[in-house]
Each structure stands twice: as C-alpha cells, then as structure tokens.
Amino acid sequence: MDQAGKETIKRAVEEMREELLALSHDIHDNPELGFEERKAAQWQAELLEKHGFTVEKPYCGLETAYLASGPGPGKGPRIAFMAEYDALAGFGHACGHNIIASSAVGAGIALAEGLARTGVEAQVLVMGTPGEEGNGGKVFLVEGGAFDAVDFALMMHPSTESVIGRSALAAQGVTAQYRGRPVHSASPEKGINALTSLIALFNSIDTLRQVWPDTGRCNGIITAGGKASNIVPDFAEGKFTVRAGTKRQLAAMVEGIRTAAESAARLTGAELTFEASPLFAERYPNKIMGERFKAHLEEMGESVGYPDPKARVGSSDVGNVSLVVPTIHDYIAIAPKTVLGHTDEFREAAKSPRADEVVLLAAKALALTGWDLATDAELRAQARKEFEENAAPNRC
C-alpha cells in the first residue's frame, strides 16, 4: 500500500503538470500586493474545486485567505499545505510566492488522490495565507484559530540553495510619526520641529543597540521630514524593522524604542503617534518532518543540505504557525547563490524552466511527506514530541 500510494502521488503531480505551471505563471504575471491577491486566490480555489476540494473563501476574516478541504471521510490526522501568493511592491514576484502557491495546491490534490486510491484516512487541507510580505497574514490566521484544526503544517520556499531546518528571527515593523508646528526657519523658536524629534529617536536607537541581545537589529528610514529647508518641519515619519532571536526579546526592544520615541517627542513638544505592525515570531522548524522532506527530494535527485549556523536569516509569519503546530518551511534552489532575493533577477528566476521544475518537485516532496505523516503513527508521535519540547514552551 505504501509504495502504491507514493506512486499515485507522483503520477498525480505529473498529470497536473500543465495546470500547476499555468497557475504559477498566471500568478507571476499578475502580481498582487498583500491582502489584495484576489486573482491569485480565485485561481487556486478554482483548481482545487476542480479536483474535488471544498473551498471556504474568504476565510478567518481575511478576504484573500481560503481554506480548501479535500474529499474523503474527514478522519485521521489533519495535514495542511500552506500557500503564499502576495508580491513585492515594485518588484512583483521577486520572492517566488507563485511557486509556493502552485506547489501547495499540487501537494494537496496529489495527497488527496493518493489517500483515496489506497483507503488511508487523513484530512488534507490547503490553506491560502495572504500578505506574508510584512502584512502578517498567518499572524491573523493563527490568532483567529485557523490552525486549531491542523495537526501538521507544511510549505516550501524558493531560494538560492536547497536546505532544510533554517530558522528565522522574530520581527516587527514600527512607525513613529511626529507632528509639530511649522514656521519660517528664520524664527525656529516659534515653531515645533518634528524632524528634530525623529532624528533624536534615530540617535536613541543607536544608543539602545549597546544593551540589545546579539540578535537584536533595527533598520530605519525617514519617509517624511519636511518640504522645504527654510520651513521648520511640522510632520516627520520614520519606519523601522526590528528583529530579535525570540519574540520575548523583540517585545522588550520595541518597548524600549517606544520609550525613546516618547522622550524624543518631549524634547521638542511634538505630538507622537507610535504604531507597531503584527509581530512575526521566531521560527521553530520541525526536524523530524524536515528530514522526511529532504529524503524525498534526494530520492528525486535533488541535493539538499543544512543551513550555515552563522548565516544571517530573515523573518516570516510562518514562525507564528511553528509555535502552535509542527511546521516545516524548507527551501529549494531556483537560482545560483549569486542571485539575491527580492531583486529583479530573482523575479525572473521564479518563472524560469528551473522554477517550473521546482513547482513539480516541491509538490511531490510535500505530498510524500504528508503521506508519511498520514501512514506512520510513530513519525507523527516523534514530530509532535519534538514540537512539544522545542516550540511549544515559547508559545506565550
């Protein structure tokens, strides 16, 4: 039964080749920003429904999120494949989310078919998770209970190297706005200089770096700072991305920045508006599940390694998922290491022949890993044990 199920899964992906690649290319050619991915969500829903899935959309209060439930008796472990499909402002699909969406849809359909052909019971879900690029779609889905009915969550991400087990930092966006009083610069004492407060905040952040943990980082830009050099600026805005090893460390850092922002406002008498975006938690990749994903990729000829422990890592809202359910978010190369993510070059790579190959490769490997979870109770127990020991204690 095991081999028959796996062969059915591989064959199902190959039979969907044209559908999956068309989906990938359509999403790539029609980039939509986070929470605006109406076409991408609809195309995925239509393909899933064509293959017997029931799709709920909108889902969990998000217009472009969806939950697709596979056909079958609805019994057994609940295995969810996560799709991302938002683009980057100004760069389109320079992060390759078209590949993520297509591989997740393909994996869900293929696993459902493998289960149906063999009589193995498991619940197959494909979850559309919009707005990853800074909007935190998965944060809202986790908070809304979307993963309460999920036992295992799987996804892949295109990259410049094929590796499993890469962690990620906690991250949060912060915006500080200062409102003052404009006046001719010949009489600055009669005005309130909003830009002076913002510059003071930047200087305070540089001071705070000395007391932050080694993983603590903050990058900021000035998005508004005045309109003419002979007028005291009455409005200034800065946007910052704050990162840390854990969300607990991050929360303390953001609170310190808030205090510094308030002090900078008192310095000039400016009025402060301080806002923080959804918090992206650190990521806890499930190694038990990741090793199965790696093994399936290697069986299909893909060389897969492990990340450099000293390498710089970014952040993703999938970290929030990894705190509530055993999760993998592993990487498959679509371009050489000389190509950087979030660039025009990576965008072009996301629709290359190699990218098409990865769509199918990832769909198979994800579905086969899902098959292992569906058929192997010991594997499920091991994955859950790892989660309870490593991720769950950091949930709060």
Q: What pLDDT score does 134 carry?
A: 83
CB 152 within 8 A of CB 127: no
CB 318 within 8 A of CB 336: no
DSSP state of 211: G
For the chain, give every domain's residue range. 2-168+283-394, 170-276
Residue type, 193: N
Class of domain 170-276: alpha beta
Class of domain 2-168+283-394: alpha beta
Q: What distance in Å separates the CA atoms of residue 212 and residue 246, rounded to the nearest whole number?
A: 12
396: pLDDT strictly greater than 80? no
Confidence of residue 1 (pLDDT cuts 50, 70, 90): low
Residue type, 58: P
Q: What percent of the chain has pLDDT over 90?
A: 94
Distances (CA, A) of 120 to 75, 208, 337, 342: 10, 56, 40, 41
333: pLDDT strictly greater than 90? yes
CB 107 within 8 A of CB 362: yes
Confidence of residue 36 (pLDDT cuts 50, 70, 90): very high
Q: 231: exposed, middle or buried (C-beta count within 10 Å: 0-12, 13-18, 19+)?
A: middle
Q: What is the pLDDT of residues 276-331, one digit of tens each?
A: 999 999 999 999 999 999 999 999 999 999 999 888 888 999 999 999 999 999 99
Residue type, 266: R
By C-alpha distance, which of 370, 383, 380, 377 is closest to 114?
A: 370
Q: What distance in Å separates the CA atoms of residue 36 and residue 31, rounded to the nearest whole number?
A: 10
Q: What is the pLDDT of residues 54-96, one digit of tens each?
A: 999 999 999 999 999 999 777 899 999 999 999 999 999 999 9
By C-alpha distance, which of 173, 218, 165, 175 is closest to 198?
A: 175
The radius of gyration computed from the CA coordinates of the chain, to the nearest angstrom, equals: 23
Q: Strand 235-244 to strand 217-224: parallel, antiparallel, or no bridges (unpaired)?
A: antiparallel
